[in-house]
A = this chain, B = another copy of it.
Amino acid sequence: MKVLSVIGSRSQLIRAGAVSHQLFAKGVDEVLLLTAQHTDDIITQVFFEEMDIPVPKYSIGIQSTNQGAILGRMIEGVENAIIKEKPEVLLVYGDSNSALAGALAANKHQISIAHVEAGLRIGNLQSEGEVNRLLTDRISNLLFCPSSKALENLKSEGFENYTCKIFNVGDILQEVAYYYGSISSSKSDIINRLGIKQTYALATINRHEYYDDLSKLKGIVKALNTINREQQVIVPLHQSKLRYFREINIEPIFKIVPYLNYFDMVELLKSSNIVLTDSGTVQREAFYFGKCSVMLRHDTEWAELVQNGYSMLGSTDSEFILIAYNEMISRKPDFTADIYGKGKASERIAEHLTHWNEK
């Protein structure tokens, strides 16, 4: 069996790596294609070696700032690989343009589509991620849900009546977090390097919407400044975003550190006492490392974390963020609950993938 895996970001690549190892063990011929949607200095040869992830055979660098053009050229790039490789299954992850582009290209060539992290919803069609998820799910043949809620979402949209198969396999990120978390302290000296001695909150602000609409960035910076008076706030940030912080007329008094490699990030997560993030990935990582979190968003596709008290929605309004922070900083929930399958997702995905077409 030949599988073409289409990957759009560092974070997808790390999750795909776990599946790659399982597919390899089952004798599946997997070809990786990196759309390089977020290619930067972070995805390098060293990265692949350090993370023990197979190097993609294809890397299609998309040069455009227009979202439509990015999607369009990705479709064409994936199609070229499909024509060359003739895979039986195309595997995509999450809710990026890469996932949708891969699915559309595969659909045009009648290649079966498997979607990892299927069924997630925030209920807002204004969100690019939501649209990518919805449309990718709709044309997928094999849907791997990370939670029972995601499975329920698909059922409520009638997917049981469609000609596709749906499985709740759990979240791959959980096993990835456990695995890299167990070795990160030998790979990173970030705590020493930054001279951290006290408790701190870890925050991430990466959504491009917040840099398009600086009032949102401002709300977040205001809140983080206030929190920083109580305990240090650390914000890893890509170089290219620094100029926006200079534009908003509020001096950030928290600690901005250069964008980190994965192990540094894991170490910072493990040693923090609370996480504030606009990323669904970091929100789950916080949970896996036993940290409460505040979402710097109005919504989350990982609703279980909010429903079960591990996370609160803080939006981008400084007051809301502070209310959520004050609530979450004192909460001590039980982190041993099994919400996302306890780290067996990649094994289950590989198992279903190699057998799904048999009956």
Q: How far is the CA of A134 from the CA of B135 in the complex (A)?
A: 9
By the criterion CB–CB under 8 Å, are B72 and A74 in contact? yes
**Taking CB as reference atom, which chain B residue is nearest A78?**
B68
Whether, in the assembled complex, A357 has its beta carbon less than 8 Å from a beta carbon of chain B, the answer is: no
By the criterion CB–CB under 8 Å, are B138 and A68 in contact? no
Whether, in the assembled complex, A255 has its beta carbon less than 8 Å from a beta carbon of chain B, the answer is: no
**Taking CB as reference atom, which chain B residue is nearest A67?**
B108
Whether, in the assembled complex, A349 has its beta carbon less than 8 Å from a beta carbon of chain B, the answer is: no
- Give every chain B residue within 8 A of A108 (Cβ-Cβ): 66-68, 71, 128
Question: What 0/1 readout, one digit per residue, does chain A (93-111) give for beta carbons within 8 Å of chain B?
Answer: 0000000010011011110
By the criterion CB–CB under 8 Å, are A71 and B66 in contact? no
By the criterion CB–CB under 8 Å, are A68 and B109 in contact? yes
Closest-CB distance, A299 to chain B (whole angstroms): 14
- Give every chain B residue within 8 A of A162 (Cβ-Cβ): 125
Residue tally, chain A, CB below 8 Å to B: 34
Whether, in the assembled complex, A25 has its beta carbon less than 8 Å from a beta carbon of chain B, the answer is: no
Q: How far is the CA of A46 from the CA of B123 in the complex (A)?
A: 48
Task: State the oligomeric state as a number of copies.
Answer: 2
Closest-CB distance, A211 to chain B (whole angstroms): 16
Whether, in the assembled complex, A76 has its beta carbon less than 8 Å from a beta carbon of chain B, the answer is: yes
By the criterion CB–CB under 8 Å, are B76 and A72 in contact? yes
**Taking CB as reference atom, which chain B residue is nearest A79?**
B68
Whether, in the assembled complex, A122 has its beta carbon less than 8 Å from a beta carbon of chain B, the answer is: no
Interface of chain A residues 107 through 166 with chain B (CB within 8 A): 107-110, 125-126, 128, 131, 134-135, 138-139, 156-158, 162-163
**Taking CB as reference atom, which chain B residue is nearest A157?**
B158
Question: What 0/1 readout, one digit per residue, does chain A (49-83) give for beta carbons within 8 Å of chain B?
Answer: 00000000000000000111101111110110011
Q: How far is the CA of A139 from the CA of B66 in the complex (A)?
A: 19
Q: How far is the CA of A11 from the CA of B184 in the complex (A)?
A: 61
Q: How far is the CA of A131 from the CA of B136 in the complex (A)?
A: 11
- Give every chain B residue within 8 A of A69 (Cβ-Cβ): 75-76, 79
Closest-CB distance, A111 to chain B (whole angstroms): 11
Q: How far is the CA of A125 from the CA of B101 in the complex (A)?
A: 17
- Give every chain B residue within 8 A of A131 (Cβ-Cβ): 107, 139
- Give every chain B residue within 8 A of A125 (Cβ-Cβ): 139, 162-163
**Taking CB as reference atom, which chain B residue is nearest A140?**
B125
Closest-CB distance, A356 to chain B (whole angstroms): 16
- Give every chain B residue within 8 A of A79 (Cβ-Cβ): 66-69, 72
**Taking CB as reference atom, which chain B residue is nearest A64?**
B76
Q: How far is the CA of A12 from the CA of B74 in the complex (A)?
A: 27
- Give every chain B residue within 8 A of A158 (Cβ-Cβ): 156-158
Residue pairs across A and B with Cβ atoms less than 8 A apart, 22 shown, are: A66-B76, A66-B83, A67-B79, A67-B108, A68-B75, A68-B76, A68-B82, A68-B104, A68-B105, A68-B109, A69-B75, A69-B79, A71-B75, A71-B108, A72-B76, A72-B101, A75-B75, A107-B131, A125-B163, A131-B139, A156-B158, A157-B158
- A sample of 4 more A-B contacts (CB under 8 A), given A68-B105, A107-B131, is A68-B75, A72-B75, A135-B135, A135-B138
